[in-house]
């Protein structure tokens, strides 16, 4: 797996790109990461048992609130663009709420230019060329937006304090409560309270990733009412209790981890 840094003008909108090429079959348990993705399968698409379906060759993956397994048959070549929680709508001209708890074929969005990009990626010689094509396509469609800046400021506050009230977040965004809730859903794809629960789960994962097994401390640090509340929500988003997850695989928080990014 390789991870690539976006070019400078795209860094406010794209977290990173990653590519994977493998001839080995695998199955991985995945969690809500809080960030939408564009996924291009240059090999066989991944199978998702929970949805009883395969991803499309070109898939847009939105905000989700449930865990899922992904399985490869051993012919994997993926190119993935990972966006910030609130920015993918800028490039698709489609409300992110359309992708809520779904993985939709990018061809079904009926964006001719996007479909042409996908075709070019499937025909290009390699993954690095594919990343370059994505970069060119996204750069040509950058549209700075005051609403994106406002929701971005509220998200920054939420990442620091996931239990912050909607009123507090609305104040950070300089918006009324109702207007903030509507704008947050339009940009992120789910309401602020639900997204805050995902942030809280990801922060707990990060503490576990760093080695903490003091679940009382994790409960307190992330604003859960008590350990029962923590375990209940953790199980909802991961399918396992914290203790079971540690036994099953190494905890990893995508939302709170800054991967080592390479130039391509």
Cα(77)–Cα(97) distance, integer angstroms: 28
What integer pLDDT is reported at residue 261 of this predicted model? Answer: 60
Query: How many other CB atoms are found less than 10 A from the CB of residue 102?
Result: 14
Torsion of CA 120, 123, 126, 131, to 10 degrees: 10
Cα(250)–Cα(264) distance, integer angstroms: 28
What integer pLDDT is reported at residue 263 of this predicted model? Answer: 56
Tell me the pLDDT of the chain (264 aa) as tens digits: 999 999 999 999 999 999 999 999 999 999 999 999 999 999 999 998 877 889 999 999 999 999 999 999 999 999 999 999 999 999 998 899 999 998 899 999 989 999 999 999 999 999 999 999 999 999 999 988 889 999 999 999 999 998 899 999 999 999 999 999 999 999 999 999 999 999 999 999 999 999 999 999 999 999 999 999 999 999 999 999 999 999 999 999 999 998 766 555
Residues contacting 51, CB < 8 A, separation 6+: 68, 103
Give the number of residues written for the chain: 264
DSSP state of 57: S
Cα(261)–Cα(19) distance, integer angstroms: 12
What integer pLDDT is reported at residue 53 of this predicted model? Answer: 86
Cα(41)–Cα(229) distance, integer angstroms: 38
What integer pLDDT is reported at residue 93 of this predicted model? Answer: 82
What integer pLDDT is reported at residue 144 of this predicted model? Answer: 83
**Residue 169 near residue 157 (C-beta atoms within 8 A):** yes
**Residue 250 near residue 209 (C-beta atoms within 8 A):** yes
């Amino acid at each position: 797996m390789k991870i690539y840094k976006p070019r400078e003008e795209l860094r406010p909108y794209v977290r990173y790109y990653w590519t994977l090429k493998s001839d080995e079959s695998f199955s991985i348990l995945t969690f809500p990461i809080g960030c939408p993705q564009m996924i291009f399968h240059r090999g066989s698409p991944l199978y998702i048992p929970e949805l009883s379906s395969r991803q499309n060759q070109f898939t847009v993956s939105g905000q989700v609130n449930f865990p899922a397994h992904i399985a490869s048959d051993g012919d994997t070549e993926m190119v993935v663009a990972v966006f910030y929680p609130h920015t993918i709508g800028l490039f698709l001209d489609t409300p992110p709420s359309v992708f809520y708890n779904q993985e939709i074929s990018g061809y079904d969005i009926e964006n001719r230019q996007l479909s042409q990009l996908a075709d070019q990626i499937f025909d290009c010689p390699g993954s690095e060329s594919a990343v370059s094509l994505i970069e060119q396509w996204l750069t040509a469609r950058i549209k700075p937006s005051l609403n994106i800046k406002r929701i971005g400021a509220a998200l920054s506050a939420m990442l620091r304090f996931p239990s912050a009230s909607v009123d507090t977040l609305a104040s950070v965004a300089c918006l009324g409560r109702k207007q903030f809730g509507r704008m947050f859903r339009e940009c992120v794809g789910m309401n602020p309270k639900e997204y805050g629960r995902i942030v809280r789960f990801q922060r707990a994962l990060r503490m576990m990733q760093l080695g903490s097994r003091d679940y009382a401390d994790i409960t307190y640090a992330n604003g859960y009412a008590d350990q029962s509340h923590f375990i209940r929500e953790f199980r909802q988003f991961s399918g396992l209790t914290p203790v079971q997850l540690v036994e099953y695989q190494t905890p990893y928080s995508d939302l709170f981890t800054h991967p080592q990014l390479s130039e391509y």
